[in-house]
């Protein structure tokens, strides 16, 4: 039986990429300047980060069960099954909502299957995970085989992040006010990774932007699975030149063939702030 892959917009793809990969997608929303947004062009995202630099704030909303059901139900009604790849439960209730929606829909469509995977991923880390899942789908994996692959692989999807301004992390409760002020004065850049529970953990402090970018490159060498990272994803909070610098380093040092670069999406970018950058790749472990 055929199936559809369903995910949410915390993949942080440009809009056309969801269609290119043949995905069904559920939007998260952002409230910014009194308006609710669920779609974000590159130009709009640049404007958001400019606004954040100027003191604007944004709030975000997870997907609720009704939102998931609105996308999944037409798949089931059309005679297909669904594989749901959801934003990390460590950062959002989006995954839990998908589970609720799936349980309700299976009662309504008892002949169908809805497999829900907590990706434990975010931003283009989730994007890279979904990208690989689509490749496996196209290779002919069945729904259950692909579900097993996702569950067995998600702990190998590495997320390594540098934040430029600790004040944004302070607002989100990630660091104390004193740490944020001192770190800003000393040009300290926190090194963050997504742990096995899908939560962002501050694991180091690096002085200076250049050293922080190098640290991201070094993590690929330290943790990356040899031969498995011809494709690497990078996201950025309106700091494209830095992302391109990292791209060059990866290609020169490791022979990476394809590097996909795009903005951090509005949902995660609203909390991470401008200047944040992350690299995503397959590792021996997270």
Residue (of 169, 166, 179, 164) closest to 213 by Cα position: 164
| DSSP 8-state code for residue 63 | P
How much is the pLDDT for 272? 87
- Is the distance from CB of 193 to CB of 159 less than 8 angstroms? yes
Number of separate domains in the chain: 2
Packing angle of the helix pair 65-77, 94-108 (nearest 10 deg):
40
Domain of 160 in residue numbering reads as 156-282
Give the C-alpha separation, 183 to 265, whole Å: 25
pLDDT of 173? 57
Q: Is the same domain home to 83 and 147?
A: yes
> Which H or E run includes 160?
strand 157-162
Residues 238, 215 share a domain: yes
Domain identity same for 42 and 130: yes
Token pair listed for 196: 């096995």
92 and 234 part of one domain: no
Backbone angles phi, psi at 114, to 5 degrees: -130, 105
Q: Which of 154, 183, 204 is the last residue of a domain?
A: 154
CATH number at residue 9: 3.40.50.10170
- Examine the domain organization and report whether 73 and 180 are in the same domain: no
Q: Would you give the DSSP letter of residue 283?
A: B
Q: What length is written for the chain?
A: 286
Q: CA-to-CA distance for 60 and 48, rounded, in angstroms?
A: 13
Identify the CATH number of the domain in which residue 210 sits: 3.30.1180.10
| Mean pLDDT per 10-residue interval, the chain, length 286 residues | 94 96 97 95 96 91 97 98 97 96 98 97 98 98 98 98 75 57 65 91 87 97 95 98 98 97 94 93 96
5 and 261 in contact (C-beta within 8 Å)?
Answer: no
Sign of CA dihedral 86, 91, 96, 98: negative
pTM of the model: 0.94
Q: Which of 275, 267, 272 is nearest to 238 (CA)?
A: 275
Say if residue 276 is in the same domain as residue 243. Answer: yes
Give the end of a domain, one of 91, 126, 154: 154
Do 8 and 122 fall within a single domain?
yes
What is the Cα Rg of the chain in Å?
19
């Amino acid at each position: 039986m055929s199936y559809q892959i369903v995910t949410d917009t915390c993949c942080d793809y440009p809009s056309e990429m969801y269609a290119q990969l043949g995905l069904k997608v559920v939007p998260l929303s952002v409230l910014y300047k009194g308006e609710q947004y669920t779609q974000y062009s590159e130009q709009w995202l640049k404007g958001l980060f400019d606004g954040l630099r100027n003191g604007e704030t944004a709030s975000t909303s997870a997907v609720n069960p009704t939102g998931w059901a609105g996308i999944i139900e037409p798949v089931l009604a059309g005679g297909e099954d669904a594989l749901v790849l959801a934003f990390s439960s460590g950062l959002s209730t989006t995954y839990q909502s998908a589970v609720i929606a799936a349980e309700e829909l299976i009662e309504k469509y008892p002949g169908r299957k809805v497999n829900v995977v907590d990706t434990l991923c975010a931003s283009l880390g989730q994007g890279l995970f979904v990208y690989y899942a689509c490749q496996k789908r196209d290779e002919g994996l069945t729904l259950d085989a692909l579900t097993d692959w996702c569950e067995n692989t998600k702990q190998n999807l590495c997320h390594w992040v540098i934040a430029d301004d600790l004040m944004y992390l302070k607002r989100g409760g990630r660091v104390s006010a004193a740490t944020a002020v001192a770190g800003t004065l000393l040009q300290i850049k926190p090194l963050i990774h997504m742990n096995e529970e899908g939560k962002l953990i501050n694991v180091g402090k690096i002085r200076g932007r250049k050293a922080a970018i190098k640290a991201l490159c070094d993590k690929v060498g330290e943790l990356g699975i040899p031969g498995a990272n011809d494709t690497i994803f990078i996201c950025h909070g309106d700091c494209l030149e830095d992302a391109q610098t990292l791209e060059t380093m990866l290609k020169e040092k490791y022979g990476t063939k394809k590097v996909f670069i795009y903005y951090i999406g509005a949902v995660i970018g609203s909390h991470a702030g401008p200047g944040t950058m992350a690299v995503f790749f397959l590792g021996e472990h997270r």
